Amino acid sequence: MEKKLPTIKEIAQRLNISISTVSRALHDHPSIGLRTRMAVKKMAAELNYEPNQTAIFFKQRKTFTIGIILPNLREEFFSSAINGIETIAQQNNYIVLIGQSHDDIENEKRILETMKKHRVDGILASISKNTTQFDHFEQMKSYDIPVVFFDRVPDVPDVHSVSCNLYHSSIEAVEFLINKGHKTIGYMQGPSTLGIKNERLAGYYEALKKHKIPVDESLIVSTDLSTKSTEEALDSLLGKKKKPTAVLVFNDYVALDAIHYARQKKLKIDKDISFVSYANVSVTRYLDYPPIASVEQFPYDQGARAAELLFKLLDTKTNRQDIPYENVVLKSELIVH
Amino acid sequence: MEKKLPTIKEIAQRLNISISTVSRALHDHPSIGLRTRMAVKKMAAELNYEPNQTAIFFKQRKTFTIGIILPNLREEFFSSAINGIETIAQQNNYIVLIGQSHDDIENEKRILETMKKHRVDGILASISKNTTQFDHFEQMKSYDIPVVFFDRVPDVPDVHSVSCNLYHSSIEAVEFLINKGHKTIGYMQGPSTLGIKNERLAGYYEALKKHKIPVDESLIVSTDLSTKSTEEALDSLLGKKKKPTAVLVFNDYVALDAIHYARQKKLKIDKDISFVSYANVSVTRYLDYPPIASVEQFPYDQGARAAELLFKLLDTKTNRQDIPYENVVLKSELIVH
DNA sequence: TGGGAATGCGCAATCGTTTGCCTATTTTTT
DNA sequence: AAAAAATAGGCAAACGATTGCGCATTCCCA
């Protein structure tokens, strides 16, 4: 068992030809005659030869590996996104390295560093909730490692990204509530860093404006995504003299916590208070009281598109620095449950 | 930007010393004097030198990469397991490559092949539901790539594995139901391939026997894990003259489908029929009608232990073939909701 | 039949690092 | 003060594959 793996050299020796001939023969290089080519291939098959990829990686300065950095694998959104990425990666004969930041920028930096060391050819990233500056990603440029952000994309101009347009569906979501007769609609936003260009909020404002509902800033609360913080945020909304009858919530996970808490407080869901959120996670299917609607963000597609963009970058021979930054924006869709 | 990365050679030239000296200096080799060592390190820092890992991987015949093969990232169980693995991998300065089989053996083979090509140092795997033979894993031995299975482990002797003992907690689960007064208890199992040594079923039998409840084989049904199949299985149970008042179910996802379907059928959960299952996924927290109990299988720990075992194997200098196969079995725990 | 294309293949450098072995200088020992 | 030993560092091979260049044959056509 402890046998050394056969190399190109081994084949060459057995056939008494040079290793360059073997290499070329295996690659169907035209300068190698048919008979030797056949002989080489036959011998390669016999010996069960497989090229040593690490040698090739080294020589070619390419590893056929892309790195994915994201906050958390456990969120359905991200695991779906990975599926999209994996599909495209496979088509391109690439393999994926995964690192979770667990929403911590230090982890993010460490992972990036490790991936750089491993010489990944490119990186796909969804930033952590406390990533406010991007030097670590910026730095990848000097190593000629392209980075494409998806979903949680930094709000700076000079990056490639794929994300969802949440502005329109946020308007749609709020209008959906308004049409249901709601007049006092709260908004529970996520960590402020996650939405510098806060499309959700902008849509919220726009919808209210469109329907001539005055904005009450105290109806806008924040959660850091933890259960506790969400509960506090909801408390704050419920503590108002004029309580909201509906709340637009940052995402389904937060909504689940909010709904759970509201029910503990003996509120009747969809009677006393309704929730609409984002992500459209599949588990809501099993719930008796899911958000009445949720904005589908098509994680699989986002992942796939981001991967496609990355491979486009990897394919370009020209100086990558010259490629204009591309910011793909996908449509989202309000799904009513 | 297009600058070439500095190499050890670059440093050597600037300092007018040999590259071997540079290499040794950077590794604090004792045969290099203090002054040159300092000079080298200073220059390395100045040039922002970073060793080319691909060269090192190649030379060392090691990639500091392990591959994880599992059915599906979207199951919380597996993403938690990955967390455990990632933690241990990080401690060992390893990085993880991930591939999903999507419960298809062909994918599993393809992934394994790719990982082999990429020369991973070792592999952690949870087999797909239709993997009944293991040649592809077996083959890794001849490449000296150790494989450790976790959770879904093959039922053959000569493998390393980490799994949960479901026998005892299955007994516990059934006894829990018996103590609640249930006399007719069904069992819905998963794909037969996933449990050749079917501990769940064995525990089910044992508990009944212990409490002198005769086994009714028609109370044992199977699902391929799809919603449809689960519904059919439940139908079969409900079609009996003597319907079960409780069902032990393969896992929470199946249980969720079963409960959902039972409710559609107007059954009162925990009144007409109760469910106990496995996995203890966190979302049940938000459900009005979760399984009344679920067997926690500690995916994080399983992942971590499997990774530890793998690193132990990777650390051994001796011929790896000589290491006795290790089969770690962790305790599971019935969690009552 | 002689000279210029094709055709078929080998040499050797290269990628960046590590490491066994050897040499030269300095230090220690007796 | 000469021999032995320790110290410091260089040479070159090796890891496995790719590739530009050059050197033989063989072939074709005049």
Mind listing the pLDDT tens digit for each residue in A317-333?
767 777 899 999 999 99
Work out the mean pLDDT of chain A and round it to a whole number.
95
Q: What is the pLDDT of residues B108-151, one digit of tens each?
A: 999 999 999 999 999 999 999 889 899 999 999 999 999 999 99
Is residue B303 domain-shared with residue B289, that is, in the same domain?
no
Residue B61 carries which side chain, given as an amino acid letter?
R
Quick check: A142 pLDDT over 50?
Answer: yes
Instruction: Give residue A155's pLDDT.
Output: 87
Cα A329 from Cα A298, distance rounded (Å): 12
Is residue B292 domain-shared with residue B169, that is, in the same domain?
yes
Q: What is the pLDDT of residues B178-236, one digit of tens each?
A: 999 999 999 999 987 765 568 999 999 999 999 999 999 999 999 999 999 999 999 99
What band does A192 get if pLDDT is binned at 50, 70 and 90?
confident
Quick check: B101 pLDDT over 50?
Answer: yes
Q: What is the pLDDT of residues B61-87, one digit of tens each?
A: 999 999 999 999 999 999 999 999 999
Q: What is the pLDDT of residues B288-310, one digit of tens each?
A: 999 999 999 999 999 999 999 99
Closest residue in chain A to residue B67, using alpha carbons only: A97
Q: Inter-chain contact B119–A54, Cβ cutoff 8 Å?
A: yes
Quick check: A154 pLDDT over 60?
Answer: yes
A334 located within any domain? no
Contacts of A261 in chain B (CB under 8 A): none
B3 located within any domain? no
Quick check: B4 pLDDT over 80?
Answer: no
B243 located within any domain? yes
Cα A94 from Cα A122, distance rounded (Å): 10
Cα A334 from Cα A84, distance rounded (Å): 21
Is residue B325 domain-shared with residue B282, that is, in the same domain?
no
Q: Inter-chain contact B95–A96, Cβ cutoff 8 Å?
A: no
Is residue B85 domain-shared with residue B16, that is, in the same domain?
no
What value does the mean pLDDT take over residues B96-118? 97
What value does the mean pLDDT take over residues A114-123? 97
A114 located within any domain? yes
B74 located within any domain? yes
In order of A164, A248, B192, B237, B282, the CA distances from B231 in angstroms are 36, 35, 17, 10, 23
Q: Which of residues 257-316 of A touch strand D (CB under 7 A)?
A: none
Task: State how far Cα B204 lies from the chain centre.
Answer: 24
What band does B2 get if pLDDT is binned at 50, 70 and 90?
very low
Angle at Cα B232 formed by Cα B226 and Cα B238, nearest 5°?
Answer: 135
Least CB–CB distance from A142: residue in B1, B259, B319: B1
Q: What is the pLDDT of residues A66-105, one digit of tens each?
A: 999 999 999 999 999 999 999 999 999 999 999 999 999 9
What value does the mean pLDDT take over residues B274-278? 97
- Per-residue H/E/C for chain A: CCCCCCCHHHHHHHHCCCHHHHHHHHCCCCCCCHHHHHHHHHHHHHHCCCCCHHHHHHHHCCCCEEEEEECCCCCHHHHHHHHHHHHHHHHCCCEEEEEECCCCHHHHHHHHHHHHHCCCCEEEECCCCCCCCCHHHHHHHHHCCCEEEECCCCCCCCCEEEEEEHHHHHHHHHHHHHHCCCCCEEEEECCHHHHCCCHHHHHHHHHHHHCCCCCCHHHEEECCCCHHHHHHHHHHHHCCCCCCCEEEECCHHHHHHHHHHHHHCCCCECCCEEEEEECCCHHHHHCCCCCCEEEECCHHHHHHHHHHHHHHHHHCCCCHHHCCCCEEEEECEEEEC
Cα B333 from Cα A27, distance rounded (Å): 56
As a whole-number percent, the residues of chain A with pLDDT over 90 amount to 92
As a whole-number percent, the residues of chain A with pLDDT over 70 amount to 98
Instruction: Give residue A186's pLDDT.
Output: 97
Q: Inter-chain contact A97–B99, Cβ cutoff 8 Å?
A: no
Contacts of B1 in chain A (CB under 8 A): 141-142, 144, 321
Is residue A86 domain-shared with residue A235, that is, in the same domain?
no
Round to a whole number and report the distance in Å from the CA of A31 to the C1' of C3.
23
Is residue B91 domain-shared with residue B24, that is, in the same domain?
no
Cα B60 from Cα B51, distance rounded (Å): 13
Q: Which of B130, B132, B122, B124 is nearest to B154 (CA)?
A: B132
Domain that holds residue B37: 8-51
Residue A54 carries which side chain, given as an amino acid letter?
T
Is residue B159 domain-shared with residue B170, that is, in the same domain?
no
Number of domains in chain B: 3
B77 located within any domain? yes
Instruction: Give residue B1's pLDDT.
Output: 40
Is residue B204 domain-shared with residue B270, that is, in the same domain?
yes
Is residue B279 domain-shared with residue B179, that is, in the same domain?
yes
Both tokens assigned to A144: 């000629």
CATH code (residue A137): 3.40.50.2300
Instruction: Give residue A200's pLDDT.
Output: 94
B336 located within any domain? no
What band does B321 get if pLDDT is binned at 50, 70 and 90?
confident
Least CB–CB distance from A58: residue in B58, B96, B141: B58
Measured CA to C1', the nucleotide nearest A61 is C15
In order of B70, B122, B234, the CA distances from B94 in angstroms are 18, 10, 45
Is residue A130 domain-shared with residue A174, that is, in the same domain?
no
Other CB atoms closer than 10 Å to residue B218's CB: what's the count?
12
Instruction: Give residue B317's pLDDT.
Output: 73
B335 located within any domain? no
| A8 CB less than 7 Å from any atom of strand D | yes
CB A70 within 8 A of CB A101: yes
A166 or B320, greater pLDDT = A166
In order of A7, A189, B175, the CA distances from B142 in angstroms are 15, 54, 46
Q: Estimate the share of chain B in helix, then strand, then coil, as percent rounded to the nearest 5.
A: 45, 15, 35
Report phi then psi at B305, rounded to 5.
Answer: -65, -40
Is residue A47 domain-shared with residue A109, that is, in the same domain?
no
Is residue A214 domain-shared with residue A286, that is, in the same domain?
yes
In order of A57, A142, A313, B211, the CA distances from B5 in angstroms are 16, 9, 20, 72
Quick check: B320 pLDDT over 80?
Answer: no
